[in-house]
Structure 1
Amino acid sequence: MLSRERRVHQGMGFDLWTGQRSWFWKLADRGAIGAALSHPQAVREACRAIDELLECDSGFDPAGATSAYHERWHSALDRLARYVAAA
């Protein structure tokens, strides 16, 4: 059974859905996605991603992006890749 849900955190929307015993999330208009084992974990991860984006966006200059910003996103993508590979 496929379940879909739309939520908002700090004014930014995100979508949640489940399929194949996993939960997935996507930030609206940002392209960020993730996967989790449970609904609460997916909500936490999406909210954390929004918090990080808002923190970075407050002074974010794409031409001079910090290595810490890139490291956080590469780390998140690596976690997602490991999760998908193990599923």
Structure 2
Amino acid sequence: MVTPTAKRKAVAHLIGVHGMSERRGCKAIGCCRMTIRYQTSRVDDAELRQRMWAIAHERRRFGYRRLHVLLKREAIWSITRSCSGSIARSG
């Protein structure tokens, strides 16, 4: 399975080097044009990740749910519990 990022790079290569149109490049790769045009809306959570890591090492027994409660008490971040869980899993 190829990631959308790899598909974007491949189509960009076809467009830049070989002078293909976006439509033709997508057809050659076999992907949808919306995959190429999609803009991610992900925010940079490096500071949040660092703060969560600091709290987790300070209180080693706490899981992501309790870390989430502590982060909400700080009132700096407004994230969902599932988002804090995915951040905790990713390291």
The TM-score, its normalising length taken from structure 1, stands at: 0.30
Instruction: Determine which structure has the larger strand proportion and give its number.
Output: 1
The TM-score, its normalising length taken from structure 2, stands at: 0.29
Instruction: Determine which structure has the larger helix proportion and give its number.
Output: 2
User: Does 1 or 2 have the higher relative contact order (CA < 8 Å, sep 6+)?
Assistant: 2
Rg (Cα) greater in structure: 2
